[in-house]
Structure 1
Amino acid sequence: MAGGVRLALAHRALLADGLLWQHGADRWWWTDVPAATLYAWQDGQRAPAACRLPDRAGTFAFCRSGRLLVGLAKWLCFAGPPAPGGRAARQLALQPAVVVDPAEPRTRVADGRTDRRGHFVFGTRIEAGEPRAIGSFYQYSQAHGLRRLALPAAAVAGSICFSPDGATMYFSDAGERRILCCDYDADGAQVANVRPFAELADAMPHGAVVDSEGCVWNAERGSGWLVRYSPEGERIGTWRLPVADPTRPAFGGAALDRLLVASAGGQLFHITAPGVRGIPDTPFDDNASIR
């Protein structure tokens, strides 16, 4: 399969990552990690609206209540219903939820995504200068709090996404240049049967998403490719972007038939992939009571 690539938004940023579609509000959201800023954009707008943050945000998710769950460098925090508007950047007020690795200054929160049950699964990455892979993977829920997943340590945790039935988790360590997968029990925060899914020859795996057919779309940093893998790990589609460092693909639109990819330079690109649709992200369940 092959298709076209066109520029959707020419916005410039230090790093656009964590791209998500907000259902109902019909907006694309992403984070500029070094600039500690969240952006929101509707199709047809000339420029995105901005929300300032007190620290770098590596990941975020939408909640059932309408709030936002934001992964700052060392904290997961809640924010009120985001309502960006106007050109002036707004300060996003945050309520701390849980601290992440408080005794480990060499890591920060990186990629994350809700699983099919509404728990938030994310990883950490090492800060510059640390030679060892000491990042971890976690699951956070209101019912159980923060639980570490028994997955291999990572230098840069990423590519987190889930099969349509939620029983398989995909993830990567950019330092290893491969995508892994495992059996995943959302309620028990248990993983098993960790195994290779796909090898990358000349690039680093970054953000990923699963479509309605169970295929995994991964952005390859360093090569400029967006690759679609079958559920068995076979490369069945490639799209070359006009930038070297795409960061994360996301499906959006009313029918989830629009595919955009964010890039390290801040631009968003539209990918033509006829007949392909996404799966709605399950909102984070922030209504469950803590046990």
Structure 2
Amino acid sequence: MTASNLTPNCLWPLGAELGEGPLWHAAEQRLYFVDLVGNALHALDADGGRHSWQLPTYMCWLLPRKDGDGFMAGLRDGIVRLWLAPELRIEYLHRPLEQEGVRLNDAKVDAHGRIWAGSMNAGNVHSPDGKLYRLDPDGSLHTVLTQYHICNGPTFSLDGSTMYHNDSLLGRTYAYAVQTDGSLGTPRLWRQFGEGEGSPDGMTVDSEDCVWIAQWGGSRVCRYSPQGELLATIAMPVEQPSSVAFGGPDYKTLYITSAWQDYDADKHARDPLAGALFSVQVDVPGVPAHQFG
């Protein structure tokens, strides 16, 4: 897979201030994603149809349920069940955030149907107040990691034995061994990102167990081997690519969200597609998203 054939296509120049959390919903043939600080959920159908819902507060992520009865979602202040039809309905399950300025940030479901959701101090990202929570299928919530600045990811190896997880402020991706009961082994530094590479943000794994990472501030999305070797680079026409997800009928479409967070007018003028949704056609397909439950 070479960089020359990885050309991003702008699908929806909607200008999300903080586009995040792309999720391909196979049953609906639809991509969902959020504008986190815009309090909005958006969806793009395979046939090009567009949909949007306004939320009462930040929406950080949306994840599928195995029973198909609505979704799981992370709002600014808690984990909820959410239904979009026949009308928007929200039911809070957990409100674990007690500190002023701390909000949920990113999440993913593992092969055992558990949600792993991180938090961060949005008011002071230099304060290590972020935590990683695990929501088990029985509804119980557990704090599994602390002392993170900006929790991003996670994603999991194909066999579920490894979790990759970012502290974006430090430019670090860690790898953890995952036990069947959800406990984690000692972290190892999987990759340290350097100057010019951007910060590791949202990520996913393809069918060859390689890791794709959106590199915020680096104008690129990269593919890495399970050992952390750089394999391919997508040069993005925006500075802040934020997250990635595979979709489409063959899972060979990589969807990429982006943002224009903290831009002034001059910077926005220099980065006019910031906040758009992009896609890239790849040779190696991804895998379907796991479902909670």
Distance 1:26 1:281 in 2: 13
Establish whether residue 100 from structure 1 lines up as the match of residue 93 from structure 2: no
Q: How does 1:1-291 map to 2 (within 5 A)?
A: 1-2=2-3, 3-45=6-48, 48-66=50-68, 67-80=70-83, 82-83=84-85, 92-101=88-97, 103-129=98-124, 131-143=126-138, 145-149=140-144, 151-185=145-179, 187-202=180-195, 203-264=198-259, 265-274=274-283, 276-285=284-293
- Equivalenced residues, count: 273
Gap regions ≥5 residues in structure 1? 85-90, 286-291
The one-letter code of the counterpart of 1:181 is A
Alignment partners' CA distance in 2, 1:154 and 1:147? 16
Separation in 1 of the partners of 2:190 and 2:91?
37
1:9 Cα shift?
2.0
Q: What is the CA distance between 1:189 and its match in structure 2?
A: 2.2
Shift of 1:44: 4.0
Structure 1 runs of 4+ with >6 Å offset:
none
* Matched residue type, 1:193: T
TM-score by length of structure 1 reads 0.89
**Cα distance per residue 1:214-271 (max 9 Å; x no partner):** 1000000111110100001101111110000001111001121111111113311121
Shift of 1:181: 0.7
User: 1:6 deviation in Å?
Assistant: 1.9
Gaps spanning 5+ residues in structure 2: where?
260-273
Q: Deviations over 1:94-148 (max 9, x none)?
A: 01111122x2223110110001111100100112236411100010023251011
**TM-score in terms of structure 2 length:** 0.89
Letter in 1 for 2:16: A
Shift of 1:183: 0.2
Instruction: Give me the whole-angstrom Cα distance separating, in 2, the residues matched to 1:130 and 1:241.
Output: 25
Q: For 1:223 and 1:130, how far apart are their aligned partners in 2? A: 19
2:271 is matched with none
What root-mean-square deviation, in Å, do the aligned CA atoms of Structure 1 and Structure 2 show? 1.6
CA distance in 2, matches of 1:83, 1:224: 37
Paired position in structure 1 for 2:266: none
Residue 166 of structure 1 aligns to a residue whose secondary structure is coil
Deviation at 1:178, TM superposition (A): 1.4
Contact kept? 1:106, 1:130, Cα under 8 Å: no
Contact residue 147 and residue 189 of structure 1 kept, 8 A: no
* Structure-1 separation of matches of 2:130 and 2:61: 15
Q: Judge conservation of contact 2:46–2:248 (CA < 8 Å) in 1.
A: no
Seen in structure 2, the aligned counterparts of structure 1 residues 131 and 177 have a Cα distance that, compared at 3 Å, is: closer
Contact kept, 8 Å, 1:206 with 1:219, in 2: the verdict is yes
* Alignment partners' CA distance in 1, 2:155 and 2:13: 27
1:52–1:92: 8 Å Cα contact kept in structure 2?
no
